[in-house]
Structure 1
Amino acid sequence: MSYKIDVVIEKDADGYYAYCPALKGCQTQGDTLEEVQANIKEAIELYLSTLR
């Protein structure tokens, strides 16, 4: 099954921050854009697995 979930990624002085507005508390950070993208993908998967 696949889902389409909006993700917000912001750059700040320490790197990148990402969160999913639809998934309360689903957030992460990373030093690079690639790292934060991988981290948010994992965070979403873990978040959704707790709902099953």
Structure 2
Amino acid sequence: MLRLEGMVQVTFRVRVVLEPDEGGFHASCPALRGCHSWGATRDEALVNIREAAAAYIESMPAHGDPIPVEGPEHLPSTQEEALTVTV
């Protein structure tokens, strides 16, 4: 786990799971519990989950929560992508 102190800019790579969902795509970040989004297209779902993940990660230090760090064992599969988020 990583803790952020003060004003810094850090780039994170998190795994995103994309699944077809009722005329669009559901996107989630398993390492960020409860971080989900949706989009009418795959690209829209990725844009939306990137924004959701950035907001989620930014809020963690304020709540005293450690930021999960995913290791190489969490490489993306066919329904997953790596997402880079800068906060």
TM-score, structure 1 length as denominator?
Answer: 0.90
Larger gyration radius, structure 1 or structure 2: 2
Question: Partner residue of 1:18?
Answer: 27
| Number of aligned positions between the proteins | 52
| Rounded Cα–Cα distance in structure 2 between residues aligned with 1:13 and 1:24 | 22
- RMSD across aligned positions (CA): 0.9
| Rounded Cα–Cα distance in structure 2 between residues aligned with 1:42 and 1:35 | 11
| Rounded Cα–Cα distance in structure 2 between residues aligned with 1:41 and 1:5 | 10
Compare the two structures and name the one with the higher strand fraction: 2
Of 25-34 and 7-16, more deviation after overlay is shown by 7-16
Runs of 4+ aligned residues of structure 1 deviating over 4 Å after TM superposition are: none
5+ residue gaps, structure 1 = none
5+ residue gaps, structure 2 = 1-9, 62-87
Compare the two structures and name the one with the higher helix fraction: 1
Query: Relative contact order (C-alpha < 8 Å, sep 6+): which is higher?
Result: 2
